[in-house]
Amino acid sequence: MRFYVDVAGPDAELPWRYVHGVAHAVVYNVIGEQAPALATQLHDGGWAPPNSPRPVGISPPVFVGARRKPHAYMMSSTGRIWFGSPIPAVAASLLAGIVARRELRWGPVTLTVKGAQLEPTSGPESSVVLETRSPVLVKAKENRYLLPDDDGYVGALLANIRHKADLLGLPGDAELEVLAAGPRRRFEVSGGIRIGATATVRLDADARLISALREWGLGLSNIQGFGWVR
């Protein structure tokens, strides 16, 4: 399940370190109000097995009609944040937690919650083009971030997709082609650096896995707002 929440922010700048840097804290806080044990499990040990990726996707807040300011992430009264998870219990807790709120704290900023809406599910598809709203994070074996034009990018992204399939008990056979990519972006998150780029890819895989990736995201650190699929 995936859904979006419409929010209103101030006519001000959101410091870049908070754009992605607090997304995981927002997720844990929202889930924790509905299912504290589940939030603790995700925070302390991942899903299953322990230390596995957290099966949660979130986008950073996206604002329409914001004032333009060079090198600044500006907010406005018309914003939207997407949430999702291929795990029903996680998705249900996220939705219930958002619906129960009138405000959502995003780092130093309080956003007014206007309402939430489920996104309709698409029919089963085994071959799709996926475009991400936020940068996709992919790492090489030597712990170096890769960009879509780098050697090894496709193989590393496929390995991540197969790992997610294993965690969900789904077939992991997949083929992937990068069709387009955005510019290199660098973010500071939780005291570390994240480097990636948005990507448009053609993916051939089990239809259930494709649906799960729409709800979870592509690449690493989806709970920090990276790799969210449009």
With a cut of 80, say whether residue 48 has pLDDT above it.
no
Q: Mean pLDDT for the chain?
A: 94
- How sure is the predictor about 120, in pLDDT bands with cuts at 50, 70 and 90? confident
Domains of the chain: 2-118 (3.30.70.1890), 127-224 (3.30.70.1900)
Q: For residue 184, which of 219, 160, 150 has the smallest C-alpha distance?
A: 150
Which pLDDT score is estimated for 215?
Answer: 97
C-alpha angle 184-186-190 in degrees, rounded to nearest 5? 150
Q: How far apart are CA 50 and CA 90, in angstroms?
A: 16
Q: Decide: pTM greater than 0.85.
A: yes
Q: For residue 207, which of 91, 136, 122 has the smallest C-alpha distance?
A: 122
Measured in whole angstroms, the distance separating CA 65 from the mean position of its chain's CA atoms is: 23
Distant-in-sequence, close-in-space partners of 146: CB < 8 Å, separation ≥ 6: 138, 139, 140, 152, 153, 156
Q: Which residue has the tokens 């790799």?
A: 227
Q: What is the DSSP string of 101-112?
A: -SEEEETTEEEE
Which pLDDT score is estimated for 65?
Answer: 95
Q: For residue 48, which of 36, 38, 62 has the smallest C-alpha distance?
A: 38
Distant-in-sequence, close-in-space partners of 118: CB < 8 Å, separation ≥ 6: 1, 2, 3, 95
Assess contact for 96 and 118: CB atoms under 8 A: no
Which pLDDT score is estimated for 76?
Answer: 98
pLDDT digit string (tens) for 163-211? Answer: 999 999 999 999 999 999 999 999 988 779 999 999 999 999 999 999 9
Q: Which two tokens stand for residue 60?
A: 């950073």
